[in-house]
């Protein structure tokens, strides 16, 4: 009898305890739902602010087309290759130690078919930069789409858009005849693919990777992202991993044999010498990383603080979003390894495609901050972005002050009307080759200074008459000549009497 009573008592206690736990869980669940609803309600108003930041980023990217500054040295070198070759020729090694993806070059060349590239230098310069400009603008929208797929918190989306749209280096390279802004766009699109799409069959996985691997013809760094994305598949389904790896290997081997090998044979030694200081070793690792952060993504003023936020964000992503953690880890690791092996330089503009990944890692850290604090974050990051933009605005101002085509125009006017001659140092021959096609220069009135000839000896060897010295870089020039310099952006036109 006593046992029966005790059993009844324990049953009642057990039922009461279970009911209490259920009530507690309901309260917690209800509280979480209410917090999410409140979070969503409070952040809905940020949509308009996000659109404002996107609009501002696009406006800033349109400043350069409005000014339409002349092409600088490397841009001239790429422009010569594009204008002087047919589409098939763009798949062969380029002149002047230039290296660029062949489909990117083909896309740049396509709009020039609808104009006369010799008629107007300003129009030609603008048309040649349409693809980088398009990539720079579209990348802002693509990155916002990526953020929406990774973060539900509008505050975090706002922060990410702010850091991306107002980044001065991304703005600068959105109007430069180089593939760097396209690298950024392709990287974002590839990350979207790897975090969002999961083919339901091995055949689909094979063909999809086969197709997206062709993006390496548009952007060299796409190979890093694709390789990292394929390694992420390994953690999900090893059979799909082997299908993806096989497709990637087929494209990579063909591309290497046909294009990369030829480029390395033609330009490898020269490029290795040019980029030597940007290959990672045990002595310069910290220096190169610091320079990279300082010049491209120094959002917390001090590079060390920015690096700390990035590392912390990566650790958070390991627990919250392993997809991003795996992709970012293998992308950054492969970049470091290829730089150490002298295959890919660790230079600012060559690594611009890492900026979206670094912003995502920072947002991963900010997303774990409580709602009450996260409301203040957008204000802080707008101020940080504005300060960073102010500090790095000198880069933009210098670029807007480069008026190479105006310099060549003044040269053309003086040579044609006053009978002056022109002295061209060898390091500016690409500017001369490009811009002289727009002006009627008499080749007999052009003197080229050889690389090893000292300035004093060179000026003593040419006739003493009316000359203009066209120098795109700050080189050692005799003081009596330097005093007569007419500075034009990064150029000097020196009158030699």
**The pLDDT of residue 433:** 81
**Which tens digits make up the pLDDT trace of 306-318?**
899 999 999 999 9
**The pLDDT of residue 4:** 53
CA distances from residue 392 to 71, 357, 398 in whole angstroms, order as listed: 21, 21, 11
- Please tell me the pTM assigned to this model: 0.84
CA 297 to chain centroid, in Å, comes to 11
Between 73 and 354, residue with greater pLDDT: 354
Between 95 and 39, residue with greater pLDDT: 95
**Which tens digits make up the pLDDT trace of 319-328?**
888 889 999 9
**Of residues 152, 110, 113, the one with CA closest to residue 131:** 110
**Of residues 472, 346, 462, the one with CA closest to residue 411:** 472
Ordered by start, the domain boundaries in the chain are 1-43, 46-401, 404-496
> What is the 3-state composition of the chain as percent helix, strand, coil, each rounded to the nearest 5?
75, 5, 20
Report CA Rg, the chain.
29
Between 428 and 101, residue with greater pLDDT: 101
Q: How far apart are CA 354 and CA 204, in angstroms?
A: 28
In this predicted structure, the answer to whether residue 211 has a pLDDT above a threshold of 50 is: yes
């Amino acid at each position: 009898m006593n046992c029966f009573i005790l059993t009844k008592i324990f049953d009642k206690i057990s039922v009461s305890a279970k009911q209490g736990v259920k009530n507690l869980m309901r309260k917690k669940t209800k509280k979480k739902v209410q917090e999410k609803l409140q979070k969503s309600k409070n952040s809905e108003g940020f949509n308009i602010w996000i659109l404002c930041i996107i609009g501002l980023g696009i406006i800033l990217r349109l400043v350069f087309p409005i000014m339409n500054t002349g092409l600088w040295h490397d841009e001239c070198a790429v422009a010569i290759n594009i204008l002087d070759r047919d589409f098939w020729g763009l798949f062969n090694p380029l002149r002047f130690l230039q290296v660029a993806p062949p489909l990117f070059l083909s896309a740049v060349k396509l709009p020039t078919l609808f104009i006369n590239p010799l008629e107007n230098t300003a129009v030609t310069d603008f048309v040649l930069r349409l693809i980088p400009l398009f990539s720079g603008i579209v990348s802002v929208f693509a990155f916002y789409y990526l953020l929406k797929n990774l973060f539900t918190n509008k505050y975090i989306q706002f922060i990410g858009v702010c850091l991306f749209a107002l980044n001065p280096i991304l703005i600068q390279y959105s109007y430069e005849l180089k593939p760097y802004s396209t690298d950024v766009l392709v990287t974002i699109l590839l990350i979207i693919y790897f975090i969002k799409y999961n083919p339901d069959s091995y055949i689909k996985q094979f063909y999809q990777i086969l197709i997206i691997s062709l993006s390496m013809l548009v952007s060299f760094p796409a190979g890093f992202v694709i390789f990292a994305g394929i390694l992420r598949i390994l953690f999900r389904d090893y059979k799909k991993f082997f299908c993806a790896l096989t497709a990637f290997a087929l494209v990579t081997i063909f591309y290497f044999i046909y294009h990369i090998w030829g480029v390395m044979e033609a330009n490898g030694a020269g490029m290795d010498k040019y980029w030597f200081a940007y290959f990672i070793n045990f002595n310069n690792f910290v220096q190169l990383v610091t320079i990279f952060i300082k010049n491209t993504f120094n959002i917390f003023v001090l590079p060390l603080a920015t690096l700390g936020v990035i590392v912390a964000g990566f650790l958070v992503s390991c627990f919250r979003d392993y997809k991003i953690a795996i992709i970012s880890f293998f992308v950054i690791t492969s970049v470091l390894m290829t730089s150490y092996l002298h295959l890919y330089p660790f230079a600012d503009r060559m690594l611009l495609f890492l900026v979206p990944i670094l912003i995502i890692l920072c947002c991963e850290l900010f997303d774990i901050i409580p709602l009450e604090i996260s409301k203040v974050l957008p204000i802080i990051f707008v101020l940080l972005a504005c300060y960073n933009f102010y500090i790095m605005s000198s880069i933009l101002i210098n670029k807007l002050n480069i008026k190479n085509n105006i310099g060549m125009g003044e040269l053309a006017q003086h040579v044609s009307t006053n009978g002056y001659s022109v002295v061209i140092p060898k390091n500016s021959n690409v500017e001369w080759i490009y811009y002289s096609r727009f002006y009627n220069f008499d080749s007999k009135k052009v003197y080229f200074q050889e690389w090893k000839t000292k300035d004093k000896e060179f000026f003593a060897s040419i006739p003493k008459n009316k000359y203009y010295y066209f120098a795109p870089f700050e080189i050692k020039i005799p003081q009596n000549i330097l005093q007569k310099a007419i500075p034009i952006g990064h150029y000097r036109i020196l009158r030699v009497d």
